[in-house]
Structure 1
């Protein structure tokens, strides 16, 4: 799960691009798989979505240092993926945004929030399935030097995670999480009151989020990704199967107790989002509805473009 499920799902409900979830566990999957999942989530602007194949290419190239032949194939695969995503997934996301407008206009329950999260998860599963073939193809082409490059990039993201969530006193770490949560919430609702900031702080304090446990799972998934590539190269005819198995181990961790921990994060996140939303004023809810309407309009326009 994301470091704070509440932060991640709030951004999904707001239609914002995801840097850390989106798929709720996206960032931790490692280099190749990340491309399809991160960029598959709702994108906030038409320009950003139209540039997604290029941004995706840059992301992959930064992580594995593509050669010329790989660059050509990867660009084509990204173009194909987003053509599919534009026609098949954007209408579904637009439909979800329409549903969430009705939710945002009234009080909501944690169960409703969790149901919305499940709807997004289903869509991300579809994107992951569509990406299996091109991801397997790229995995078969990666050289030992490129895997070393990927491992170095993984180490850099681990340093970033440590800086964000493991350094400083517990109070300092809480303040950093609160700052990010407030920023995301205010982009959706507008300015929060002191009471709402206090509510967010209390919810974050109640969260079972354990950065060390989360970091350990990140490391496991990174190692899993590298081993998946090696296993695919050892048996090329099973490459797609290996990628599917890797995705399955992201969805359901083999680490004892981790899925229960992840589910506890989800449940607390649903409580957090519902509590903040139910504390919102009429003006804040109107802002939320207008934001969702804007994103829905953007996605419907994008899905009609070919």
Structure 2
């Protein structure tokens, strides 16, 4: 899954975090994590922006409003989705079916991102030069981590790291994978169209786009940025989000869609090798997620 977010994808993803948090998170901690989301999202954003005291107060209000909308509007949709997944878990699936479910999650992230545009645009208009420099340092640190995790090292080392992560994600759903299932994942990752260098270049483009958009909305602010959000500024941030969701880089959208298709094929292939016990485990996990959502929806 979402995310992207201050006028940027990364900041937008912060508010959309709860979408994937519930859908993909650990069942035993989902309710706790969601109930802690106001603080988690605040500190995540503060790490990027280094809020002033006035910005802190507004950010907390905006986060509370976003989560109230999310709880009442989005959680029921997720609960229905999880019910569908429980039924699918007990049968073989096709790559097309897997992609349909992926698109549902992506649409949820997009809805959450769109919901956060106005408050994040207002915040963007209030950022000082020092805060913008803080954001750039955070971007540089993120780039260094990506290089370390996905670009450096031998091909075998990088493959091994990706395999470990893939196994861990799937075992959250199915329980322990067999050696044959691990080998299936390894073979699929070896054939993956994912390109670390190309992905890093897109990350850099998005970061540059974010900084340029930030400069644009700064020129459109009303006074000190505390007034109503200018329509042109909101259009600028929406344009940034659109360029995150569909890159203007020639060929990148096709590359991205190829990755999605490969991921759907990989998931379906692995799922279709699962045993009755593994599928029953998946149903239990998904049912646990659903129960957590129903409990969260009942809270007021």
Structure 1 and Structure 2 fold alike (TM over 0.5): yes
Partner of residue 34 from structure 1, selected from 13, 31, 35 = 13
Which blocks of at least 5 consecutive residues in structure 2 are unaligned? 222-229
Whether 1:271 and 2:271 are equivalent positions in the alignment is no
Q: 1:203 to 1:24 in 2, by over 3 A?
A: farther
Whole-angstrom CA distance in 1 between matches of 2:3 and 2:65 = 24
* Match status 1:282 vs 2:276: yes
Mapped partners of 1:62, 1:148: distance in 2:
13
Q: Name which of 233, 236, 251 aligns with 1:239.
A: 233
Q: 1:115 aligns with which of 96, 100, 105?
A: 100
> Counterparts of 2:208 and 2:298 in 1: how far apart (Å)?
40
Count of matched residue pairs:
283
- Quote the offset at 1:25 in angstroms: 7.6
- The superposition leaves residues 1-26 of structure 1 with CA deviations (integer Å, 9 ceiling, x where unpaired) of xxxxxxxxxxxxxxxxxxxxx22788
Q: Does 1:146 align with 2:131?
A: yes
Q: For 2:77, which of 92, 100, 116 is the aligned residue?
A: 92
SS at match of 2:116: helix
Of 81, 87, 91, the match for 1:106: 91
Q: Residues 150-229 of structure 1 correspond to what in structure 2 (within 5 A)? A: 150-229=135-214
Corresponding position of 1:125: 110
**Gapped runs of 5+ residues in structure 1?**
1-21
Q: Note if contact 1:228-1:242 (Cα within 8 Å) is conserved in structure 2.
A: yes
Larger-gyration structure (1/2): 2
Q: CA deviation at 1:80?
A: 0.4
If the length of structure 2 is used for normalisation, what is the TM-score? 0.92
Structure 1 runs, 4 residues or longer, greater than 3 Å off: none
Matched residue, 2:251: 257
Instruction: Give CA deviations for 1:196-247 in whole Å, capped at 9, x if unaligned.
Output: 0000001111110000000000011111111111101112322211111111
Could you tell me how far apart the structure 2 residues matched to 1:285 and 1:300 are?
22
Among candidates 117, 122, 130, match of residue 137 of structure 1: 122
Q: CA deviation at 1:153?
A: 0.5
Contact 1:31/1:60 (8 A) holds in 2: no
3-state secondary structure, aligned to 1:40:
helix
